[in-house]
Amino acid sequence: MSHATPRWRYRFSNYKRAFTLLREAIETMSESGLSQLEKEGTIQRFEYTMELAWNVMKDYLEHEGVVFEQTTPRNVIRKAFETNLTEHGRVWMDALDARNKMSHTYNFQQFEAVIENIRIRYLAAMEDLYLVLLEKESEID
């Protein structure tokens, strides 16, 4: 009997690629600094990695039987924290706020602050999610 691949695994495949590209941008910054264009690209990578992150959390939690009354990023992150999918609830909420702010404003000083937070806070939470889901994916295979 063949089983359909769970939706969260497809989304996780996209998250893995996005996370890898964001990590690459931050590592490049650490080595040589970033031009303005590269900073803008890093913010863009952060925005779509955040979008994929909360969606893969949602898909995984739904696969595990969690039912959401309202499917909002905040509710999903809260539930991911409550169910121990992540231990970085506050960091994820701050990252979500930063993502929302960046998609509605174009302020170079805020770019700098968000990029610094990606480097020192958000990337670690994203990597932890990556590792947790990688382990869960290997349990299925």
Is 87 contained in some domain?
Answer: yes
* Residue 105 belongs to a domain: yes
Question: For residue 130, what are the CA distances in angstroms to 12, 98, 112, 137?
Answer: 8, 20, 25, 10
Whole-model pTM?
Answer: 0.92
Query: What is the pLDDT at residue 109?
Result: 81
Interatomic CA distance for residues 38 and 115, integer angstroms: 11
Whole-number Å distance between alpha carbons of 92 and 52: 13
The answer to whether residue 22 is domain-embedded is: yes
CATH of the domain at 71: 1.20.120.330
Mean pLDDT, residues 9-27: 96
Decide which of 108 and 135 is more confident.
Answer: 135
Work out how many domains the chain is built from and give that number. 1
The pLDDT, as a whole number, for residue 28 is 86
Query: Quick check: is 107 in a domain?
Result: yes
Classify residue 81: in a domain, yes or no: yes
Greatest pairwise CA separation for the chain in angstroms: 56
Please report whether residue 109 resides in a domain: yes
3-class DSSP state of 77:
helix
What is the extent of the structural domain holding 73? 7-140
Give yes or no for residue 1 having a pLDDT over 50.
Answer: no
* Exposed/middle/buried for residue 45 (C-beta within 10 Å: 0-12, 13-18, 19+): buried
pLDDT reading at 32 higher than 80: no
- Domain assignment present for 2: no
Judge whether residue 73 has pLDDT over 60: yes
Q: Which is more confidently placed, 135 or 32? A: 135
Please name the residue ranges forming H helices in the chain: 7-32, 36-63, 73-82, 89-104, 108-117, 123-140
pLDDT digits (tens, 9 = 90+) for 34-56: 788 888 899 999 999 999 999 99
Is the pLDDT assigned to residue 107 strictly greater than 80? no
Q: Which of 3-12, 106-115, 124-133 has the lowest mean pLDDT?
A: 106-115
Residue 1 lies in a domain: no
